[in-house]
Structure 1
């Protein structure tokens, strides 16, 4: 996921972004999805804003955090996305000054079409707002195998009685990845045993997983020399504002880091215009501390550590010195006592 955003940032010369995600503190799908984006895009000014799934969030505070960025990358429920986009539209943040993205974890072809619609008085504004919202999701696929897999997932969910589980019957990137990982392991194990290795030989099995390409449940899967999977993603945008419908405008292939631009792609849609002044400096990683303050804290910590170590060795050496001196005094006392006793015996004998 991070690779496609990095590629777009470099292509469109974007410099800053706000990662806005919903954290449920359980599965934490959005957290783990955007965590990779944050850690990989260290060359850009990236801010993070987390929303608790159970709590009501403050749209004014969110918009304030959006203000000095260029790109907003969101991962959260559809209702929260709509509320944020409506608030942004009222503040005229959807006039091309910002680029909005939603990370869609579920590979479902129906997403985007009508996702802004709720049948309320805000539908018209929501449709206009969503014209500025783009969606990044798994590479779209029309493979019959994937459709069959999705149907089996839904049947399994119903059979397990998980009727209240939202999206349990949909195939997200984690389910898809787990399926392909098991398939890759099975192929690597088969090849290792075919070449005379034991099924317990993890080195042989693992080496068969690297630098290979195979057909996964949703499409081609490519593994690099480190055993990492190259991600393939689709970029969706609203191409018919009147109807409010989305379509795939570009595909990203991780194996070679290239985009496939489709007929619906419009570069102007992703070009910032009417920009306000944006902070171009790198994000401050010091938790709000200035450079001088942070340096002072570090120097103080180092000096404190040195003093503790010095005190430890001083105390240890001091204890050893005292013990030696005490032992020496005890020896001298013992010798002196023995001399006195010998002297007394000698005197008595003489008497």
Structure 2
């Protein structure tokens, strides 16, 4: 009997040793991840640049409380086009992937997210930042955006307009009619300002020179705030031309949007080593740059070092003007962590890795600690954005520093020590007049006073009506193409829409 009991104990012990270990209440699970990124290294979010960030995240997860989740990463070339959709469809010939990461480019992401949402596959991307993707139902139902969208960036401008009392904006942007990054960037600003403020817009062809654009500066004369999304050389040329025309003064503010060229944030971009540098530096003294807020977290510094080492080992060329570490690397790292958190919660509640809707919704409306700091996701599955405003604070050296921060989670503005109020409060902005107090001796209204009130009321009504029709007819929406644009390609549907169109039309 004793021998039998001993044998049974040995059998039970052997069975227990054969069971996979439990980690954080989660049995081992294999997750098939399809990563859709371009192979072309001219993109700062190419597969060669993002892969080290994903591998870094996978190593961290395997050594921590999510060791039971085994991620298999399969990289396919999105080529920022329809190849991304074909890769998703081809991958589904066997078993469909459990998770799709990417694409980044809008025109590649749109069909992929539609099909993946139909198949109940979560899509997490540090791209697809166009405003149209904010409308999740029904086409983009399972899209989670781990980088702040252009609409979130637009909140920064809306907050500044409210805080400083600006009244109108002139938007200038490059439109290459292909990936249209600046078009979608400017769209986010337009959507947040239009309706509350007068907004006009001017589209530039990046292949054409700027010297003949007198119309641009004529429009600029009538606006308080000029907001640009242009290539660095074009920003410099516009600022030089504006400065020569006397448009850089206390009656006008200039902003440049620079989200992804993270090495400079506008610092020193006026310098080209040629005869106009001194003049350009003077012009850039009136330019402010809106960019993503950067982290100084120690963990992020360690991450940055690892990313640089990985890129050197792979021989990846750093694109001109780009930093070795950018928001896309940070974003895709955090995307894998966010998915692991949501997957564990879903499985604890009895769901499987194939319940994409449940997993996606558990990634939304939550806050967690990412590689660069706290990451806050809103209830719509979009990351709240923190942005910085940089200005030239040393006019001798022409160097910039951060003067203001915007925090998207609580929609607040933080003024920093380098802030100069004269650069943001317009001196000659119209202010409401203060009526004179009535004279004490006036016991009632005389005939002339009554007549003045009647005439004033009629004039006021006429002015209000004139302003209404002027506003209605004068508002300009952003042009989708130049007159020379051929009537073909993927922009045919977009061409007829205003900038407020839903991207799903594309």
Asked whether the two chains share a fold, i.e. TM above 0.5, the reply is yes
Does the residue aligned with 1:50 lie in a helix, a strand or coil?
strand
For 1:281, the equivalent position in structure 2 comes to 471
Maintained 8 Å contact 1:224/1:230: yes
Aligned residues of 1:23 and 1:52 also touching (Cα < 8 A): yes
- Cα distance in 1 for partners of 2:326, 2:177 equals 18
The correspondence of residues 170-209 of structure 1 with structure 2, limited to 5 A, is 170-173=324-327, 176-209=330-363
Matches of residues 16-31 of structure 1 in structure 2 within 5 Å? 16-31=168-183
Q: Secondary structure at the match of 2:200?
A: strand
Deviations 1:198-243 (A, max 9, x none): 1111232122122211122333211122222211001111111122
Q: Deviations along 1:99-122, whole A, 9 cap, x unmatched?
A: 011111226353333221112121
Residues in 2 aligned to 1:209 and 1:130: alpha-carbon distance in whole angstroms: 41
CA–CA distance in structure 1, aligned partners of residues 181 and 330 of structure 2: 14
Pick aligned residue for 1:132 from 286, 294, 298: 286
**1:138 Cα deviation from its structure 2 partner:** 0.4
Alignment of 1:53 onto 2:243: no
Name the residue aligned to 1:13: 165
Higher CA-based Rg? 1
Q: Which residue of 1 aligns with 2:156?
A: 4
How far residue 48 of structure 1 moved from its aligned partner, in angstroms, is 1.7
- Cα distance in 1 for partners of 2:267, 2:478 equals 41
Counterparts in 2 of 1:24 and 1:159: CA distance versus 1, 3 Å: farther
Indicate if the aligned counterparts of 2:203 and 2:478 stay in contact, CA closer than 8 A. Answer: no
Question: For residues 286 and 205 of structure 1, do their structure 2 counterparts lie closer, same or farther at Cα, with a shift above 3 Å needed?
Answer: closer
Once the 2 structures are TM-superposed, how far is the Cα of residue 26 of structure 1 from its aligned partner?
3.2
Q: Which residue of 2 aligns with 1:323?
A: none
- Asked whether the equivalents of residues 59 and 84 of structure 1 are also in contact (C-alpha less than 8 Å), the reply is no
Q: Check conservation: 2:402, 2:416, Cα contact below 8 A.
A: yes
Residue 216 (structure 1) aligned with residue 370 (structure 2): yes
TM-score, L = length of structure 1: 0.72
Contact 2:171 2:228 in 1 (8 A): yes
Given the alignment of the two structures, is residue 97 of structure 1 paired with residue 236 of structure 2, yes or no? no
1:133, distance to aligned residue in structure 2 (A): 0.3
CA distance in 2, matches of 1:90, 1:123: 14
Shift, 1:6, TM fit? 0.2
State the number of aligned residues: 286
Structure 1 gap ranges (5+): 289-351
Tell me which residue corresponds to 1:33: 185
Taking a change above 3 Å as real, the CA distance of residues 112 and 136 of structure 1, as seen in their structure-2 partners, is: same
Comparing both structures, which one devotes a greater share of its residues to helix?
1
Residue 235 of structure 1 corresponds to which residue in structure 2?
Answer: 389
CA distance in 2, matches of 1:160, 1:46: 46
Tell me, what secondary structure is at the counterpart of 1:208?
helix
Q: Is residue 94–residue 132 contact of structure 1 (8 Å, CA) maintained in 2?
A: yes
Distance 1:112 1:286, change over 3 A: closer
Q: Is the 8 A contact 1:107 1:171 kept in 2?
A: no
Q: 2:415 aligns with which of 244, 261, 280?
A: 261
Q: Distance in 2 between matches of 1:287 and 1:92?
A: 26
Q: What does 1:282-321 align with in structure 2 at a 5 Å threshold?
A: 284=475
Shift of 1:16: 1.1
Contact 2:156 2:387 in 1 (8 A): yes
CA spacing shift, 1:221–1:105, aligned 2, 3 Å: same
